[in-house]
Chains A and B, each alone.
Chain A
Amino acid sequence: MNQYLTFFIRGEEYAAGILRVKEIIEFERVTRVPAMPEHVRGVINLRGAVLPVIDLAAKFGHGPSEPARTTCIVVAETELAGQMLTVGVMADAVSEVVDIADDAIEVPPSFGTHIRADFLTGMGKLDNRLVLVLDLDRVLSPVELQQTIDAAEAAQV
C-alpha cells in the first residue's frame, strides 16, 4: 500500500508517488527560457533554488495550460543519471492524497488513456474511479525532453 498525491490536468486525474512530492506551491510567474519546447514552461525561484517548471498538458499534446485560480505547481523529485533533480509540475488543481495498493495498479490499456502508455506506471483503481499513475522519472526526464525536441525538428524537415 503506497500513498499518492492526485491532481488534475485537463480534467484527467493523475497520481504521483507521495515520496517523490516535496511540496505544492501556488502557481506564480514563470521566467521563460529561449529555445525550449512548449511543455518546458520556464523557471521559478523556490526559496533561492531555480527550478524548471513543466507543463504536462503541453507535453501530452493538449496545448499549453492557461493558469487559473486553482492552478498550482507540484514540486517533485526525479532521478536523472543517478542524481535527484527537483522539478515543478503544473497542475490545474490538486485533489487529494490516496492510498493505492500495488495490486490495484494495472497495466494501462494500449489505447484510450489519451497519453503515451510509457509515461504511466499504470492505472490505479480507486473505489469509484481510475487515476493515471505517472512514471515521474520518465515524464520529467530531460532525455525524454531531448527526444521530443528531436522529433519536433524531424517533423519540420
Chain B
Amino acid sequence: MADIDLTLDDLEATFAMEAADDIAALEAGLLALEDAPDDAEVRGELLRRAHTLKGNASIVGRQALAAFAHTYEERLEHLDVVDASVIASLLSGVDTFRRLLEGEELAAPAPVNQHIRVRAEKLNRMLDLAGEISIARGRVQQMLSAGALDELIETERQIDQLQAELQELIMRARMVPVGPMFRQYARTVRDTAAIHGKNARLTTIGDDVEIDTSAVELLRDPITHMIRNAIDHGIEPSKERVASGKSPVGHITLAARHEAGTIIIRVSDDGRGLDRAAIGADDTVIFEPGFTTAKEVTDLSGRGVGMDVVRRGIEALRGTISIESNEGVGTTFTIRLPLTLAVIEGFGVAAGGETWIVPMESVVECVELPAGEARDAATGVLLLRGEIVPYLRVRFFMEDRHSCLSPHPTTGKSACPPSNGREHVLVVQHDGARIGLVVDELFGASQAVIKPLGNYFAGVPGIAGSTILGNGHVALILDIATIFRNAGVLAGWAAGVPPAPRRDAAAPAAETAAFHNKECS
C-alpha cells in the first residue's frame, strides 16, 4: 500500500519537475528564436519540448495542460513569420503553462533546478544528524582520552574522518549551478525593456558555478530588483545609445565565479551609469533606506522597495554588496557570498551565562578590557592604538540583566561579570568600521552548522541564527551587520537609558596596545 502511494507521489513529483523544466526550456527557446528566427535547431527543440509536455501531461491525467500543449504544439508547427508580437504571444502561452501547472499541482512548486531531486528538508535532516554524530563523538573522545586506550582512540579518529566526509558530501549536495536561475532573467530583461520602450538582452557568464541551494531562492528578489533598476535607470533608449556610439541593444550581464572561498555574482549593465547630479560623488548612498532618484514613480521601480532592501537581503546571507558606476559606460553591482550558507567559521565567546558565536570573517582581534573601564555599563568607548572604538557589552543584550542579583533560574548561573573582574573585547568590523563586543570569556574558533531560529524569533535584532555546541546546547550566532546598524538600539534597549559614551583618559593607547598581541584563536 505504502509503496504504491509512494510511486504515485513520485510520478506526480517527477512530472511537476520535468514539466517545469520543459516550460523553462520553451521560454529560453523563444527568446533565442527572437534573435535567430530561422534557426532550425531552436525550432526543433521548441517542438520537442511542447510534445514532451503534452505526452507527460496526459500520462498523469492533466487534461487541461495536455490540451493546451496540443494547441501550442500545432501553433509552433505552423510558425511562419517570427516577430516581436509573435514571440510575445508565445511567451504569454508559457505563462499559461505555468499557471496550469501550478493550479493543478499545489504540492509541487516549480523547481528552480533540474539537478536537485532531493527535498531540502531531507538534506537538512541529514545535516542535523551529521552534527549530532560529531557531538556524540566529542563525548566518546572525552571518555577515551581519560582511559588512554590507544586502539579505540585510533578507531575514533577514523570515525572522525568518515563523519567529516559525510558532512562535506551533504554540503556539496546542497550546491546547485546558477545557470538555470540566471537564464530565468532572460525573460525579465526582455519584458521589462519592452514595457519601457527599450531594447535589452541578457548575457550570462559562469552558469556552472555552484551556489548553496537556499541562496538561489534568497537571491531571486534582489537580482530581479537590480535588473529592473538597470533597465529603468541605466539602459538608454536605442536612439540615445546609437547617438553616443553604443549598440542599439542594451546589455545586462549576470556573471558568477568563485574566488577564495566566496562566490562572486556581478550584475552589470552598459547603460548611462548613475546619475551624478542626483547622487553626488558617493555611490553607496543608493543603499540608504528611502533613497530614490525617480522623479515620478514608474511601474518598474521607485516604489520605495529600494537598494536598502536588496542590501539587507544580501546581508541576511552573510554577504556584501558593492557598486561601481562610470558615467556613460554602465553600472556594476558586485555581490560576495560565503561558499556555503550552512556552515560558518565562528568565534565562540561567553557572556551573561550564555555562549555566543561571532562569524570569524568579522573578527579583527581580541584585547583585554583595560582595568579603568566601567564594568556595569551597556556601552563604552575604548582607545585602541590611537583609534576610538565604541563597544557594547554582550551580557547586556539579555533584557534580564538584573538577574545578576540572583542566579538565572534555568542555568543556575548569574549574569554578573566574571568574578575575577576580567573582561575581553572582541573587536569586530563591518564595512570598514570597527566596534568592540565586551564578553566574559573567549573560547576560540570552530566550525558551526547554522540552524535558523524560525518564525518564533523572526526579527530579533542582532541574531543571525543558532548553532549547536559540542556539549549539545544551543548557542546564538551574532549578526554583526545588524549589530552595527542597531548598535544604538541594542545599547539603549539593554541599558534602559541612552548610552553615554565616554573617552576614558585612564586607558591610554600604550596600555591598551599591550594587550592586543594576545591571539584571538
Contact = CB atoms under 8 A, between A and B. Distances in A.
Interface of A: 29-36, 40-45, 47-50, 52, 64-67, 80, 85, 87, 142, 145
A139 to B, nearest CB: 13
Given A40-B456, A43-B457, A67-B410, 4 more contacts: A32-B398, A35-B493, A42-B474, A49-B128
A40 B459 CA distance: 15
B451 interface: yes
B476 interface: yes
* Chain B interface extent, by class: 35 or more
Contacts of B128: 47-49
A142 B456 contact: yes
B463 interface: yes
A64 B461 contact: no
A87 B129 CA distance: 19
A87 B400 CA distance: 23
Contacts of B473: 29, 31, 45
A41 B456 CA distance: 11
B410 A42 contact: yes
Contacts of A29: 410-411, 473
B410 A41 contact: yes
B463 A85 contact: no
Contact of A48 (B132, B410, B463, B475): B132
B456 A31 contact: no
B15 to A, nearest CB: 23
13 contacts: A29-B410, A29-B473, A30-B410, A31-B355, A34-B397, A35-B493, A36-B460, A42-B474, A45-B474, A48-B128, A48-B129, A48-B131, A49-B451
Contacts of B462: 34
B466 A31 contact: yes
B454 A52 contact: yes
A40 B397 CA distance: 16
A35 to B, nearest CB: 6
Contacts of A40: 456
Interface in B439-484: 451-458, 460-463, 466, 468, 472-476
B221 interface: no
A34 B456 CA distance: 12
Interface string B348-379: 00000011000000000000000000000000
B460 A48 contact: no
A29 B472 CA distance: 10
Given A34-B398, A34-B462, A45 B453 contact: no
B463 A34 contact: yes
Nearest to B472: A45
Contacts of B463: 33-34
B457 A36 contact: yes
Contacts of B458: 142
| Max chain B Cβ within 10 angstroms of own Cβ: one of A35, A40, A41, A49 | A35
A43 B460 CA distance: 14
B484 to A, nearest CB: 16
B475 A66 contact: no
Contacts of B456: 40, 52, 85, 87, 142, 145
Interface string B74-95: 0000000000000000000000
B280 interface: no
A156 to B, nearest CB: 11
Contacts of B129: 48
B240 interface: no
Contacts of B468: 45, 48, 50
A43 B474 contact: yes
Contact of A34 (B399, B466, B474): B399
B409 interface: yes
B132 to A, nearest CB: 5
A13 to B, nearest CB: 23
A78 B140 CA distance: 36
A29 B354 CA distance: 11
Contacts of B466: 31, 43, 50
Contacts of A48: 125, 127-129, 131-132, 468
Nearest to A86: B454
| Max chain B Cβ within 10 angstroms of own Cβ: one of A31, A34, A52 | A34
Interface in B114-146: 125, 127-129, 131-132
A31 B468 CA distance: 11
B475 A50 contact: no
The 3 closest A-B pairs by CB, nearest first: A48-B128, A31-B474, A52-B456
Contact of B460 (A31, A33, A65, A87): A33
Contact of B476 (A33, A47, A87): A33
Contacts of A31: 354-355, 466, 473-476
B460 A34 contact: yes
Nearest to B469: A45
Given A34-B460, A47-B128, A48-B132, A85 B476 contact: no
A49 B473 CA distance: 11
Interface in B126-173: 127-129, 131-132
Contacts of A67: 409-410
B413 to A, nearest CB: 10
